[in-house]
Amino acid sequence: MAEVVIVPDAATAGALVADEIAALIAADPEVVLGLATGSTPLPVYQALPARLAGLDVSRVRGFALDEYVGIDPAHPESYRNVIRREVVEPLGLDPERIQVPNGALETIEHAGDDYEAAIAAAGGVELQILGIGTDGHIGFNEPGSSFASSTRVKTLTAQTRQDNARFFDSIDEVPMHCITQGLGTILRARHLVLLAFGEGKAEAVAGAVEGAVTASLPGSAIQLHPRVSVVVDEAAASRL
């Protein structure tokens, strides 16, 4: 059973998780972090710079969960750019040590295997930050994803494209496909930290934490992991 921590607000959650990440970096300056995009992890990234003062972050490694396929890498909403803007630059990390799955069409055939190999070569992820989609997806593992899946190309659901349209000028601009770490990849991280805020996530959180373990709700895969922390506000916890 996951450890569930209910906090008053997203900023408190961010501070809590940032404390843990800072402690990991202090203990191992080469720690491998699992990074997530979306709005949910932002409070963690915003809380981190103050906690990293005085720590050597030059050797920290990181792997993002997912990327859009075929998006112009220069597009501000490509996850490569989001991670650079929200994480790498403000935290002063070495961009060479922070990887995002490669969504370029030319190399997409082996991009998943390459990414798995890079994670394995780094020794695996120590702490994986996770958000959750309103349909229960983690990374971009939409309902129906295999619990054993590794990094691969997936089709985005209409719901997720709708949810993410706010980051683009129109829904037509939201890519149709993505490359995402699989549920199997995510489950190999040594500590999963799932964050969720707001009423809109309440059902997905309840399903992930205490519903049936089912591919229909990919977040429920966390129940198969021995070390999971779920950090939520009251609204996101309201159906637990």
- Enumerate residues 6+ apart whose C-beta is below 8 A from 26: 55
Residue 150 interacts with ligand GLP (CB under 6 A): yes or no: no
Residue 141 interacts with ligand GLP (CB under 6 A): yes or no: no
Nearest to 63 by CA among 141, 136, 116: 116
Amino acid at 51: R
142 is catalytic: yes
Residue 63 interacts with ligand GLP (CB under 6 A): yes or no: no
Residue 65 interacts with ligand GLP (CB under 6 A): yes or no: yes
Residue 151 interacts with ligand GLP (CB under 6 A): yes or no: no
Residue 99 interacts with ligand GLP (CB under 6 A): yes or no: no
Residue 131 interacts with ligand GLP (CB under 6 A): yes or no: yes
Residue 14 interacts with ligand GLP (CB under 6 A): yes or no: no
137 is catalytic: yes
Instruction: Find the shortest distance in angstroms from Cβ 20 to ligand GLP.
Output: 19
Helices (H), 155-236: 158-164, 183-188, 202-210
Residue 78 interacts with ligand GLP (CB under 6 A): yes or no: no
User: Could you tell me how far CA 80 lies from the centroid of its own chain?
Assistant: 13
Of residues 18-57, which lie at the interface with ligand GLP (CB under 6 A)?
A: 36-40
In the complex, residue closest to ligand GLP by CB: 131
Quick count: other Cβ atoms within 10 Å of Cβ 109?
10
**Is residue 4 helix, strand or coil?**
strand
At 199, list the tokens: 């009423």
Instruction: Find the shortest distance in angstroms from Cβ 53 to ligand GLP.
Output: 27
For residue 44, give the H/E element and its range. helix 42-52
CB nearer to ligand GLP: pick between 26 and 108:
108
Convert 81-91 to b/e letters by CB count within 10 Å (16 or more is b).
bbbbebbbeeb
CB 194 within 8 A of CB 237: no
Which of 101, 103, 139, 175 binds ligand GLP (CB under 6 A)? It is: 139
CB nearer to ligand GLP: pick between 38 and 112:
38
Q: Would you tell me which residues interact with ligand GLP (CB under 6 A)? A: 36-40, 65-66, 131-133, 139-140, 160, 164
